[in-house]
Structures are given as C-alpha cells and as structure tokens.
Amino acid sequence: MNRHLNVFRPYSLDQSKEHIEDNLSRALVLCLKHDTLLFHEFLQTIMLKSHSDGNSDYNYLFTNLSEKDTVNIDIQIDVTTLNENSYRRIYAIAVTSEVLEMTNFNNYLYSATKDYRPITDILITINDIAFVFEVKRWGEDCRQQLYNQVYQLTAKSNPTTSIKNQSIDAIDNVIPFSFDWKQIMTLLVTTNNFNTLHSKPNLFISDFIHLVQSYNISWLPIAPFASIPHTVDMDGKRHQRLAAAINNLPDELTALDSNARMGLEVDFGWAKEILPWFERDAKNNLSLNFYIWPGNTKGQGWKTFYSNKLDRLHDHKSVIINNKEFNLIIENEIKFSHFNRYICELDFNDDDLLKEIVTTKNFEKYAGKHNREDWNELEEFFDDYFKPEYNWREYCKWEQNFINTNRGYLTLSIGYQIKTVIPYHYLQSIDSSEEDLKNLTDIFLQIYNFYKNLL
C-alpha cells in the first residue's frame, strides 16, 4: 500500500513526540467512531477488566438504551469546561506502551500550577459515565497528569491558585485503568480480521494498523507459528514471529545489529554470524534453515583451514535439538566480493568437481584479492576443477558481474556453507502461545552451541 494514501499520514507529518501522540489519539478516536464493533469491545474491555463492578456499569449503559441516550467521542477537551456533577462514574485510563500500576491512583495528590490547563487526549462520555484518557507513545508515567485531569473534573471547586503536593480529598467514583498499546492493537487486529472475514474491511482500522507498524511494530500481536499456515501469503507473518524470537533472545546470545540481515552475531573466529531463513525445497516443503559460513572472509579462512577439527567437519550429518535429530547439510562455497560487499557465490557438491577444490593449498593460493589482469588465471583455476556440466560462469554470472563491468578487481573467499534444517511443521508443534517465545529461543541457543564447537 502507498503510505501516502494512509488516512492518518499527512505529507508533512511532524514526527516529534507530541505530534505522534496526538496523531495516535486522533487515529484511535476515528477508528472507534467508524467501527461500532471495535467501540463496543474497547469499552467492554475497560469496564470488565478495571474493577469487580464493571459488569454493572456495562449493563447500566447498554441494557436499557433509549433515543435520548447520547455518546460523545472527542479529543483535546479542557475538562474545566465540563460539568463536574454530571458523571456518576469516571474511568481514568492511562494508555502507554507498558502496563502501569494503578492500585494507589486515588491516593495521588493534585499537583499543578495556576496556569495549568487539564486537556484530555481522549474523552468518551455515554450519558453519566465518562472515560478520560491520557495517551503516551512509550512507557512514560502519566498517572499524575491523568490524576490532575480527573481531579479537575470531580473537584467541588476548581483550584484558582498554584497547588502542589497538598493533601486533597480522595476522588470518589473514579476507576483507574492501564491500557497498554499491545492490548489495544490486539483489539484492532482481531476486529480487523473479523471484518475481513465478513468481507467488510474498515479503512480506518487497516490504516491505523499500518501506521502503528511504522511507529512500533512490537505493539502488534504476533501470532505463533501454530496459527500461521505454511502458505506463501503468510511469509510476512512468519518473518514477524521470527523477528520477535530474535528480539527476545537469552542473555547468552547477541542479535545481529543490521537492518539488512536478521540473525545472531557470533565470535567464533572462523565465522561472524548465524542467519535463519525460511526456505522451500523442490517438493515445496517449508523449513527454517540456520546458516553459517566458515571461511566467509580470508581472515576467517585462516581459522577454518587451520582448525584441528576440520578433518572431522564432514562427519557431522545431523544436529540434536530437543532430543530430536535434524538434518545438517555442509556444502562447499566460493564467494565473490568487491569493496567488501558480496557480489555472488558458487555453492556446489563434490559431484560437481573433477577434483577437490576447497583445500588448504587452494585457500592459501587463491583466497583474497585478484586484479583484473589476473582473471584469466582464475578462470583456468575454475575450469581445471569444475566439471564441464557445472557451468560455473553461468552460476556466478561471470560476464555480467565482472567481465562486462568497470571493476578492476574482485575478492575471493573459499570455505563452506552449513545449514541446519528445521521443518516448519516442527516449529508449529512447539510454538503455540503468542506470549511464550522460549521454545523458539531455545532452538537458537542449541544451534549456537552446536555451531560453536564445529571447528
């Protein structure tokens, strides 16, 4: 979707903290105004989860409606303009990225200057019940700010002078509630799914979901693999779940600090990263494959080819994870780079060779920088080792990537590509709870420990 067509994204959107919070408040209000199912679920959640008598308020509001009953939803309302005697119940709702402890909310003290204006981010009123919201993008403690607003709405007389940290009578009939963004987005996503199921998508909700994806994707509910089918159209959801696992790794592991790649940063000497990719085999079977590349640079190559474990590398055929055996595939690899950037690679098996090419002798002689005037020698080297039916020039696009370019040199790495294959159906069997990522992060830890001892 073109992000400029998002109803909540003006071209000149100011990305300051205050404007983002205002935009979130406005977007949420528009969603509530334009989707009655969402509005119902939203208020019901607040009333039923905030206190034991919430069901009474819910029944009071929705059991005996008449034409005279009114609903108002608005933003940026000065509560001093409202009649403090109009509400039998006031819900004070803090909206942040974290759940705040609200038990002692009514014991707070009014604290504000004379010029303070109690402006609510969102105000919802239904007859004589009011819902006052203070909205924050992150986990800021907004309880004092929210208390000041509610106090102004309930005070017998509004303060006319500066009052700070003085004892004020406790607020009566005020129900505090902390509503974190993940809870709210779960309501929006489930409502959106319900609307889609009935072929009645709501533009406001779908655009708000896209808006939140750009602000903080962690607010969105991320379905476990058990709820995500193996179909291609679910690739995005699988990627989100994988990202969630990487963002919750145990302390022993370090996530790769890269916008381009998602995986683990390692310091094995012979390798620097482990990358997980979803892939399909020739029979369309989906799996999560954990890749590592011994000898991916010449520096790593020295650690690889002079490891006392190299002779036993190909003895490994499987990996034991959670007492189950998974395939381990080890292939030869030659990588081409330029200006320290990957260009292409040759992945091949022993059956593609006339004789063994990935050797310590060839590493010492051919790994590293090759100027253009030496490329004929490099071609002869490859022709001498690869079978004619393995068209190495075609596989690495030799003409396109090198011969017919202005490149004056290339850098060659000689080593291996290793991958552990975890079938997707196994991931589905162990990952069934949205909130519990431990079964997935345990796989990362076990693979890390196995790879660490390979060489």
pLDDT in tens, 44-100: 999 999 888 889 889 988 887 777 778 889 888 888 777 666 788 899 999 998 899
230-235 average pLDDT score: 92
User: Of 113 and 63, which is predicted with more confidence?
Assistant: 63
CA quadruple 448, 452, 453, 455: dihedral sign: positive
70 vs 156: CA distance, rounded Å = 25
Mean model confidence pLDDT for the chain: 88
Judged by DSSP in three states, 75 sits in strand
pLDDT digits (tens, 9 = 90+) for 301-330: 999 999 999 999 999 999 999 999 999 999
| Res 16 pLDDT > 50 | no
The answer to whether 151 touches 110, Cβ cutoff 8 Å, is yes
Q: Which pLDDT value is given to residue 92? A: 93
| Res 285 pLDDT > 60 | yes
The answer to whether 270 touches 303, Cβ cutoff 8 Å, is yes
Least confident of 34-38, 147-151, 299-303: 147-151
Q: Confidence class of residue 19 from pLDDT cuts 50, 70 and 90?
A: low
13-25 average pLDDT score: 62
DSSP line for 281-301: -TT--EEEEEEE-TTSSHHHH
Between the two ends of the chain, the Cα-to-Cα distance in Å is 46
Q: Which pLDDT value is given to residue 379? A: 97
User: Of 4 and 409, which is predicted with more confidence?
Assistant: 409
Q: Which pLDDT value is given to residue 157? A: 42
Residue ranges covered by each domain of the chain:
3-185, 253-452
Least confident of 182-186, 196-200, 359-363, 388-392: 196-200
pLDDT digits (tens, 9 = 90+) for 365-385: 999 999 999 999 999 999 999
112-119 average pLDDT score: 78
Q: Which pLDDT value is given to residue 7? A: 61
411 vs 311: CA distance, rounded Å = 26
Tokens 């008598």, residue located: 53
Strand 89-96 versus strand 129-135 pairing type: parallel
Please name the residues in contact with 184: beta carbons below 8 A apart, sequence gap of 6 or more.
Answer: 28, 42, 95, 219
Please name the residues in contact with 75: beta carbons below 8 A apart, sequence gap of 6 or more.
Answer: 22, 25, 26, 29, 120, 121, 122, 123
pLDDT digits (tens, 9 = 90+) for 187-197: 999 998 898 88
Least confident of 42-56, 101-115, 147-161, 424-438: 147-161
| Res 280 pLDDT > 60 | yes
396 vs 84: CA distance, rounded Å = 75
Task: Give me 448's structure tokens.
Answer: 């890390």
Task: Output the CA–CA distances (angstroms, integers) from residue 92 to 6, 151, 227, in the order listed.
Answer: 30, 10, 35
344-348 average pLDDT score: 95
Highest mean pLDDT among 15-29, 182-196, 252-266, 291-305: 291-305
Determine whether 175 is exposed, middle or buried from the number of CB atoms within 10 Å of its CB (0-12, 13-18, 19+): buried
198 vs 231: CA distance, rounded Å = 21
Least confident of 21-35, 147-161, 203-217: 147-161
pTM: 0.69
Q: Which pLDDT value is given to residue 160? A: 45
Judged by DSSP in three states, 307 sits in coil
